[in-house]
Structure 1
Amino acid sequence: MATCITPSSSLMLTYAASIVHPQDLTSSVLSFKSNNSAFSLKISIDGKPGIGWTDPFARRGSKNFVVAAVATDSAVAEAAEEEDGAADGGSATLTAPSKPKKGKASLLLKRDRTRSKRFLEIQKLRENKQEYDIKTAITLLKEMSSTKFVETAEAHFRLNIDPKYNDQQLRATVNLPKGTGQKVKVAVLTQGEKFDEAKNAGADIVGGEDLIEQIKGGFMDFDKLIASPDMMVKVASLGKILGPRGLMPNPKAGTVTPNIPQAIEEFKKGKVEYRADKTGIVHIPFGKVDFSEDDLLVNFLAAVKSIETNKPKGAKGVYWESAHICTSMGPSIKLNIREMLDYKAPSNI
């Protein structure tokens, strides 16, 4: 513990690890009082008395010594004047009030400040934190569509899985009973007699090694690429090109199969491939907003059933964490998980 008496100044203490200069002292020195006695400083180091000097460059011991620096009377008086002004409501410490923000700048959430006026308007149609039943959510989804083109209806499910583990990865397909609402361009990589089978089944593009070379050259004018098993050795060279685009043929996705005609028919009618991303979220388009509410409902329930059926073996605890639906250009609508899983579609749809 240190005590001090100063002649007509104020004192600030600091540890020996630093040196305090008078010009560095702030108004916190006002907590020290001065009188007309001579300066003295008593310090206790490990229970033994010691003496400190006012010289900021004074010697310091090897222990936790305390040095002192003396602030000038003028510095203390200036600091006191500032504090008095603040206490009396003086103009010295008052700042001009900022002007109220208008328009998007006044929005509380930063993400809303970058939204379009259209988005902000349709966002008001739903309660932000409310969980909706699926029928009400689909009705609201159609009301929110206000673009000049027909938007896609999308479902986003957060699952309690960690795809970095093999037994918690999810990749599968679902046949949407009412289709996707868009034309799917199918390309087929095959050879021999299956070449003609693919053409007769309605494939838009059919090829072998020639098509592989075109793809290597940048040709990507297709939505799905199906390959027969005997072509996979050659298709492997396209992994770096097709993989990032989600077009690499894979048995789990139904795009590597000996039954080429059936695969073409399924993808043309509305078969959709999905997979969980690295955060455990599954994104599935389930139609267009110009579908009837019943058609959207049937497709959505088919997607939910598929995800439940293909639950990874390593998934533990609560499988479904959250579910949302939205249009491709609109805000999301949160669903009630329990109601969604228990919902039974009427027999007439």
Structure 2
Amino acid sequence: MKHGKKYIDSAKLVDRTKQYEAAEALELCIKTAKAKFDETVEMHVRLGVDSRQADQQVRGAVVLPNGTGKHVRVAVFAKGDKADAATAAGAEIVGAEDLMERIQKEGFLDFDVVIATPDMMGIVGRLGKILGPRKLMPNPKAGTVTPDVAKAITEAKAGKIEYRLDKTNIVHCPIGKVSFGVDKLQENFDALMGALLKAKPAAAKGQYIKSCAVSPTMGPGIKINPAKFTV
């Protein structure tokens, strides 16, 4: 893979053989972000679990104390009073069968988070092949299938993110923007790492946090010493 001059210059600032402390790594993230836009800082954590085993799944959600720096567009599947509550709480799109048809027939996907009341999951379930691959499917573990839609909307807009293992046992999540500065990024980093540690499956054996790295959108990965992160 060929990299541009900015990436190559940024990579020179990072010692690829070193495992940094979190604050130092986040400071380097800011220094290596050379793009003309406000780059997202991403966190990548490899866990000592086997995602193929049902009892070793790691999935959940956490509210980042400083948000993600992104305007979150929320779609809600609800009817009656719950639909009214969703609109009042600031959801951009609220509907039921009509919203399902719009997604199915028009390919409408102009939203970042989908929330549904439990009675709407029969309808939402028909959208599994569309929402699932895009990681938009509502899930009770993530708090996006709930009767309290107003609370879920508020949390989503305040910076609630979902985390889940991929097939290689890695969790990838945004933890803010370069413009946040080290302190706010550190607070978000600590919140996500704390959630992952609490989510350790009982069946997981040996070292849980295998490796950790952070990177700006267009910059190099920066390794963080995982030794401090124990359960």
| Structure 1 length-normalised TM | 0.65
Please give the alpha-carbon distance, in whole angstroms, between the structure 1 residues aligned to 2:48 and 2:225.
Answer: 16
1:308-327 equivalences under 5 Å are 308-327=197-216
Q: Provide the rounded CA distance (Å) in 2 between the counterparts of 1:332 and 1:203.
A: 35
1:292-347 per-position Cα deviation (integer Å, ceiling 9, x unaligned): 211000000001000000112221111111000000111000111124x28xxxxx
SS where residue 128 of structure 2 aligns? helix
From 82, 94, 98, the counterpart of 1:194: 82
Aligned to 1:146: 34
2:131 corresponds in structure 1 to 242
Superposed, 1:323-334 pairs within 5 Å as: 323-334=212-223
Equivalent-residue separation in structure 1 for 2:72 and 2:128 (angstroms): 22
**For residue 136 of structure 1, what is the amino acid of its counterpart?**
E
| Residue 123 (str. 1) matches residue 11 (str. 2) | yes
Gaps of 5+ in 1: 1-110, 343-349
Aligned counterparts of 2:9 and 2:93: Cα–Cα separation in 1: 44
Amino-acid identity (%): 50
Structure 1 residue 221, shift from structure 2 partner: 0.5
Structure 2: which 5+ residue stretches go unaligned? none
* SS of match in other structure, 1:140: helix
SS in structure 2 at match of 1:245: coil
| Distance in 1 of aligned mates of 2:208 and 2:162 | 20
Report the equivalent of 1:185: 73
Q: In the alignment, residue 26 of structure 2 is paired with which amino acid?
A: I
The whole-number CA distance in structure 1 between the counterparts of 2:168 and 2:48 is 9
Secondary structure in 2 matching 1:172:
strand
Q: Please give the per-residue CA displacement for 1:254-310, whole angstroms capped at 9, x wherever unaligned.
A: 110010000000000000001010110001110000002110000000010000001
1:263-278 alignment, distance < 5 Å: 263-278=152-167
- Aligned partners of 1:312 and 1:268: how far apart in 2? 29
Which residues in structure 2 correspond to 1:1-349 (within 5 Å)? 111=1, 114-217=2-105, 218-339=107-228, 341=229
Instruction: State the match for 1:14 in structure 2.
Output: none
Letter in 2 for 1:300: F
Q: Please tell me the residue identity of whatever aligns with 1:174.
A: V
Contact 2:96 2:123 in 1 (8 A): no
Larger Rg: 1
1:57-91 deviation per Cα after TM superposition (whole angstroms, max 9, x unaligned)? xxxxxxxxxxxxxxxxxxxxxxxxxxxxxxxxxxx
Instruction: Choose between structure 1 and 2: higher helix proportion.
Output: 2
Counterpart residue identity of residue 202, structure 1: G
Superposition RMSD in Å: 1.0
Amino acid at match of 1:158: R
**Which segments of structure 1 move beyond 6 Å, counting only runs of 4 or more?**
none
